[in-house]
């Protein structure tokens, strides 16, 4: 096989899919890109067995079809140091069918490749269903929720992102049992309801690929795999085969106490107060009285304490409620509005965090709801 490619085009394609490559895999072949030239088109694949991403890279010239597995690290490090010039990649040594030669300008480099037949085969999407959605909607759904997913593999269902399609909307959900985020799109609907759980790594890879695009994404899925096809990319992943918790059942409906506060002011105040909080619980007490929110924290072991007051709008009964400040900061940092609203019932029950949208900020097709469990302040 032999092809000539512009270095910047090749490097861009490789960097887009390189996050899939695992350097700690028990299969050395996965530390390679799979190059395939067929019908004068170049396709490059990266895989970690769970997720496989294939990108079609435009070429200047193709002389021979073929395929080869090329070591990821050495190839990327070589291309990063080259100017934007044509790069020739060939495998033509009959005595060594896996010897790769790279020619760029006055540079000539040889390295050992690997048998492409050892590279894992991509799943075939049999008996699949499909739907089309906008790339930005999918990217937003992942970025607004993924931080709330669990890292503990003892509960694998909650380590992923739950995608729940219905004839009314798409819900993208993540939870770690202490907090929950539900991102809803009413402009993505399915005649037939279906759902699946995307692994966290796959979700991050997909988000990174889609974040700069504004295009249609074809989503296909069956009982074991999901496929996302857009522009010159195709991502296929193995789904998490678990039952997701009934997230709708834990969202409280009666929340008469409503606190509205400037989002940035609250973030900055919490960051300061959290410095003085217990560094294992990050507990901060919210004392809400009238139109004043008082944040307080203490760490008895080090005699640290902090108090800060913020003006707010509050409609409800005066309340003391404790939260993990790290959770609150991370949640409201993922909102874009000037103000946020806390809807609460009582100090020992979950509260909701919602964006307060102005006319300029409002997107009628988008809805986001966050739930956070309180901390019992008597344990401070």
Beta-bridge partner residues of 296 = 285, 307
Which residue, chain included where needed, has tokens 């946020």?
Answer: 340
- Percent of the chain having pLDDT more than 70? 99
Angle at CA 158, nearest 5°, toward 153 and 162? 140
pLDDT tier, 172 (very low <50, low <70, confident <90, very high otherwise): very high
**Mean pLDDT calculated for residue range 91-103:** 88
Backbone φ/ψ region at 338: left (φ over 0), alpha (ψ -120 to 50), beta: alpha
157 plus 236 within the same structural domain: yes
Give the alpha-carbon dihedral of 146, 150, 154, 157, to 10 degrees: -40
198 plus 289 within the same structural domain: no
* CA neighbor of 109 nearest in space, from 71, 53, 60: 71
In a domain, 10, yes or no: yes
Instruction: CATH number of the domain at 364, please.
Output: 3.10.150.10
Rounded Cα–Cα distance for residues 232 and 93 (Å) = 31
Q: Is the pLDDT of residue 118 over 80?
A: yes
260 plus 312 within the same structural domain: yes
95 plus 33 within the same structural domain: yes
In a domain, 124, yes or no: no
Rounded Cα–Cα distance for residues 281 and 267 (Å) = 17
Angle at CA 174, nearest 5°, toward 170 and 178? 140
In a domain, 180, yes or no: no
Q: Which of 92, 118, 144 is the last residue of a domain?
A: 118
Least confident of 108-117, 132-141, 311-320, 352-361: 352-361
**Mean pLDDT calculated for residue range 137-149:** 96
Query: What is the model's pLDDT at position 378?
Result: 57
Q: Give the pTM.
A: 0.92
In a domain, 30, yes or no: yes
Query: What is the model's pLDDT at position 152?
Result: 84
pLDDT tier, 362 (very low <50, low <70, confident <90, very high otherwise): confident
- Percent of the chain having pLDDT more than 90? 89
Q: Which of 243, 265, 289 is the last residue of a domain?
A: 243
pLDDT tier, 154 (very low <50, low <70, confident <90, very high otherwise): confident
320 plus 361 within the same structural domain: yes
Least confident of 148-152, 216-220, 374-378: 374-378
Print the domain residue range for 26.
2-118
**Mean pLDDT calculated for residue range 176-190:** 96
Q: Is the pLDDT of residue 380 over 50?
A: no
234 plus 261 within the same structural domain: no
Q: Is the pLDDT of residue 344 over 90?
A: yes
Q: Is the pLDDT of residue 283 over 50?
A: yes
Indicate the number of domains in the chain.
3
Coil/strand/helix, residue 290 = coil
Query: What is the model's pLDDT at position 96?
Result: 84
341 plus 361 within the same structural domain: yes
Q: Is the pLDDT of residue 198 over 60?
A: yes
Which residue, chain included where needed, has tokens 């979950």?
Answer: 350
375 plus 256 within the same structural domain: yes
Q: Is the pLDDT of residue 325 over 90?
A: yes
371 plus 267 within the same structural domain: yes
Q: What is the mean pLDDT of the chain?
A: 94
276 plus 301 within the same structural domain: yes
In a domain, 177, yes or no: no
In a domain, 179, yes or no: no
In a domain, 97, yes or no: yes
258 plus 361 within the same structural domain: yes
**Mean pLDDT calculated for residue range 217-240:** 96
Q: Is the pLDDT of residue 379 over 80?
A: no
Angle at CA 344, nearest 5°, toward 276 and 292? 55
Rounded Cα–Cα distance for residues 363 and 372 (Å) = 24
Q: Is the pLDDT of residue 20 over 50?
A: yes
Coil/strand/helix, residue 8 = helix
Query: What is the model's pLDDT at position 337?
Result: 94
Judge contact between 161 and 145, C-beta under 8 A. yes
Other beta carbons within 10 Å of 83: 8
Rounded Cα–Cα distance for residues 236 and 229 (Å) = 9
In a domain, 78, yes or no: yes
Helix 135-143, helix 200-210: angle, nearest 10: 130
What the block records as the tokens of 258 is 């409503």
26 plus 63 within the same structural domain: yes
**Mean pLDDT calculated for residue range 160-179:** 96
Query: What is the model's pLDDT at position 360?
Result: 73
């Amino acid at each position: 096989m032999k092809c000539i490619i512009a270095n910047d085009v090749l490097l861009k394609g490789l960097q887009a899919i390189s996050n899939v490559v695992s350097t700690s895999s028990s299969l050395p072949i996965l530390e390679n890109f799979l190059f395939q030239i067929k019908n004068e088109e170049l396709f490059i694949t990266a895989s970690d067995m769970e997720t496989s991403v294939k990108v079609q890279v435009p070429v200047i010239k193709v002389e021979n079809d073929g395929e080869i597995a090329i070591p990821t690290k050495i190839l990327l490090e070589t291309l990063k140091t080259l100017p934007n010039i044509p790069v020739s990649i060939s495998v033509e040594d009959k005595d060594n069918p896996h010897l790769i030669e790279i020619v760029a300008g006055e540079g000539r480099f040889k390295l050992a490749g690997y048998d492409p037949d050892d590279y894992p085969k991509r799943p075939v999407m049999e008996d699949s269903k499909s739907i089309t959605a906008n790339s930005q909607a999918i990217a937003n759904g992942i970025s607004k929720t993924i931080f709330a997913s669990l890292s503990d593999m003892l509960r694998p269902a909650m380590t992923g992102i739950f995608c729940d399609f219905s004839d009314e909307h798409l819900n993208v959900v993540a939870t770690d049992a202490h907090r929950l985020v539900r991102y809803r799109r009413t402009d993505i609907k399915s005649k037939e309801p279906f759902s699946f759980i995307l692994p966290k790594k796959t979700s991050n890879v997909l988000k990174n690929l889609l974040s700069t695009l504004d295009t249609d994404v074809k989503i296909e899925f069956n009982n074991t795999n999901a496929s996302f096809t857009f522009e010159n990319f195709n991502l296929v992943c193995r789904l998490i085969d678990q039952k997701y918790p009934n997230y709708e059942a834990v969202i409280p409906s009666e929340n008469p106490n409503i606190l509205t506060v400037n989002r940035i002011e609250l973030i900055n105040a919490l960051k300061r107060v959290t410095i003085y909080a217990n560094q294992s619980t990050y507990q901060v007490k919210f004392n809400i009285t009238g139109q004043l929110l008082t944040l307080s924290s203490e760490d008895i072991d080090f005699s640290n304490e902090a108090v800060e007051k913020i003006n707010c709008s509050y409609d409800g009964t005066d309340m003391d409620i404790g939260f993990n400040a790290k959770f609150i900061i991370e949640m409201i940092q993922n909102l874009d509005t000037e103000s946020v609203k806390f809807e609460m019932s009582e100090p020992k029950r979950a509260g909701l965090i919602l964006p307060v949208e102005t006319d300029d900020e409002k997107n009628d097709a988008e809805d986001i709801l966050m739930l956070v469990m309180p901390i019992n302040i008597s344990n401070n």
